[in-house]
Amino acid sequence: MSDNLGSGSDVGDDAGTVQTTHDLLNEATMWLQYSRGVTATLADLIHEADEVDYKGLGLSLEAIAAMTLLGTQRLGEAHALVCWDTDRRLP
């Protein structure tokens, strides 16, 4: 394994495939961008709505929470890999 961030330590994801730190950071960015996009769209819809569908709003908020959780989990995994790589290189 290389010492650079893009091809550092590997970790398995939920499907059992191996992901690098770089892959985890990319996936975290993707999920957090999805979350931001859905939040902005939902805010626009609520601002323009005459009536609010509370069940739909609740489901949308749960989806945003799930995407944010996935993003932050991937960030945590990437951070752990960086720390692990750093600790392994210490004398």
pLDDT score, position 86: 74
- Average pLDDT for runs of 10 along the chain of length 91: 40 62 95 97 94 94 97 95 79 64
Alpha carbons 60 and 46: distance in angstroms, whole number: 12
pLDDT score, position 3: 37
Q: 42: how many CB neighbours lie within 10 A of its CB? A: 16
pLDDT score, position 48: 94
Any alpha helices (H) in 49-89, and if so which ranges?
54-89
Amino acid at 10: D
pLDDT score, position 10: 47
pLDDT score, position 14: 56
Q: How, if at all, do strands 18-20 and 10-12 pair?
A: antiparallel
pLDDT score, position 19: 83
